[in-house]
Amino acid sequence: MFTGIIEALGKITEVTKVDQGVRLETSYDAAFDDIKTGDSIAVNGVCLTVVQADGNRVRFDVSAETLHRTNLGSIKEGERVNLERPVTLAARLGGHLVQGHVDATGRLESVTPSGEGFVLRVSLPPEVSRYVVEKGSIAVDGISLTVATIDSEWFDVAIIPHTWRATNLSSLQPGALVNLEVDVIAKYVEKLMSPLQRNVTGMGD
């Protein structure tokens, strides 16, 4: 489990084809002196398992399924990625509950300066649009953000200068693919309410 508060920026240093998946190697800016083989790290919001840790470099094996469903399928050497270690039970929940299970990908439509920050518009895939609400939480490339405005096909998020500097957002250009994870609570509520909705519908027949 993660919080969407990015701890470090990584840089992809190697992408190696392995069977139907790939092995990714990334270096990072911060000192993660507690990372070891078997640990989980969110890379652009995707929960991956460390298969090798060496100084400020870590390697991950990424399956074909993950490559298909996330932007890691098009990642290239030199690209910047957001990194977050799992939250501990004693840590503050600074963002929102993020599982590291990407629900869909969207495209960065535009980046508009707004005061000292920016407003980002991201396309909203129809399969997840019902879970996204104005002032609700959404993870974009693993970053916990608040939805400022929403339409049927897109949503806007306001980015403060610190988030712009501390994440990969400043390196993205319009058209870039980003990972989206909606608030898991909305999905649980939908499933719990489904039997009630079916019963109500049946009573009206």
**One domain for residues 66 and 20:** yes
What are the DSSP calls for 33-51, one per residue? TT--TT-EEEETTEEEEEE
**One domain for residues 132 and 79:** no
Domains in the chain, number: 2
Q: What is the pLDDT of residues 127-182, one digit of tens each?
A: 999 999 999 999 999 999 999 999 999 999 999 999 999 999 999 999 999 999 99
Q: Is residue 113 part of a domain?
A: yes
Domain that holds residue 12: 8-84
**One domain for residues 121 and 179:** yes
The pairs formed by 55-60 with CB atoms below 8 angstroms and a separation of 24 or more are 56/27, 56/28, 56/31, 56/32, 57/13, 57/25, 57/26, 57/27, 57/28, 58/25, 58/26, 58/28, 59/14, 59/23, 59/24, 59/25, 60/23, 60/24, 60/25, 60/26
Q: What is the pLDDT of residues 87-137, one digit of tens each?
A: 888 878 888 889 999 999 999 999 999 999 999 999 999 999 999 999 999
At residue 188, the pLDDT reads 86
**One domain for residues 36 and 69:** yes
Q: Is residue 93 part of a domain?
A: no
**One domain for residues 80 and 110:** no
What does pLDDT average to over the chain? 92
**One domain for residues 28 and 75:** yes
Q: Say which DSSP state 129 is in.
A: G
pTM: 0.90
CATH of the domain at 135: 2.40.30.20
Q: What is the pLDDT of residues 12-46, one digit of tens each?
A: 999 999 988 999 999 987 767 788 999 999 999 99
At residue 160, the pLDDT reads 97
**One domain for residues 18 and 70:** yes
Q: Say which DSSP state 91 is in.
A: S
